[in-house]
Chains A and B, each alone.
Chain A
Amino acid sequence: AQSVTQPDIHITVSEGASLELRCNYSYGATPYLFWYVQSPGQGLQLLLKYFSGDTLVQGIKGFEAEFKRSQSSFNLRKPSVHWSDAAEYFCAVAILTDSWGKLQFGAGTQVVVTP
């Protein structure tokens, strides 16, 4: 069965420390991968996406993610976290079709930033 797994439900990180959020997927075909962020009461904002090519992708707000086909992973990283990074982060997958409207999301990782 197709699935997207975010193993960490909740992560607490100190401001200025590095952050890594994990995402694993299970699909037969090559997936197209996304990371979204959601602040309380808000919609989803796209941080970055991977379609093909360079496996290390850069996104907005200083985030980057690395696609590892052998591990079926697409982990999100940020070298130095700011208090404004506190939010919920979702990994999502779209299968290659003519429709990008159908995304499957992971359960999300809540990130708390401490002073």
Chain B
Amino acid sequence: KAGVTQTPRYLIKTRGQQVTLSCSPISGHRSVSWYQQTPGQGLQFLFEYFSETQRNKGNFPGRFSGRQFSNSRSEMNVSTLELGDSALYLCASSLLQGKNTEAFFGQGTRLTVV
């Protein structure tokens, strides 16, 4: 069974540009969440999608957005990039079947803003 796949693995962008990151969840998983990991702030929740609907959102500016497609694949977009957006962006998928569920993480996309 394939795990959570995030593309690209590494990305370098210039301030002011925008970027789109992709996440393919485990087959059958309908919930996809995104997290930002930085040395200073640690792991912070960005948002969660379930069946193409955003169900939870973290405390990030509107420059951070996301969406989920009918096949559960998800993308997140960051517009007008700032140096502080440099981070490891992690995607997690889960099955959401009662208590025996858990979040499976991808390897992340390392974004560097210069």
Q: How far is the CA of A4 from the CA of B79 in the complex (A)?
A: 30
Which A residues from 19 to 49 make CB contacts under 8 A with B?
Answer: 32, 34, 36, 41-46, 49
In the complex, what residues of B have CB within 8 A of residue A99's CB? 31, 48, 50, 55-56, 96
Known: A43-B108, A90-B43, A107-B42. A101 touches B103 (CB 8 A): yes
Distance in angstroms between the alpha carbons of A34 and B101 in the assembled complex:
11
Q: In the bound complex, what is the Cα–Cα distance between A98 and B55 (angstroms)?
A: 10
B81 interfacial by beta-carbon distance below 8 Å? no
Contact status A43-B50, CB under 8 Å: no
Does the CB pair A98–B45 fall under 8 Å? no
Which residues on A sit within 8 Å (CB–CB) of B35? 103, 105
Nearest neighbor of A102 in chain B, beta-carbon distance? B56
Complex Cα distance A99/B90, Å?
17
Contact between A101 and B107 (Cβ–Cβ < 8 Å)? no
A101:B50 contact, CB within 8 angstroms: yes
> A88-115, CB under 8 A of B: which get 1 and which 0?
0010000000111111111110000000
Task: Looking at the assembled complex, report how far the CB atom of B44 sits from the nearest CB atom of chain A, in whole angstroms.
Answer: 8
Given A42-B107, A44-B105, A51-B99, is A101 in contact with B55 using a C-beta cutoff of 8 Å?
Answer: yes
In the complex, the answer to whether B103 meets A52 with C-beta atoms within 8 Å is no
CB within 8 Å of A: which residues of B? Answer: 4, 31-33, 35, 42-43, 45, 48, 50, 55-56, 90, 92, 94, 96, 99-108, 110
Q: List 19 A-B contacts (CB under 8 A).
A: A36-B105, A41-B110, A43-B105, A44-B90, A45-B105, A46-B103, A51-B99, A51-B100, A90-B43, A98-B96, A99-B50, A100-B101, A100-B102, A101-B48, A101-B92, A101-B96, A102-B45, A103-B45, A108-B43
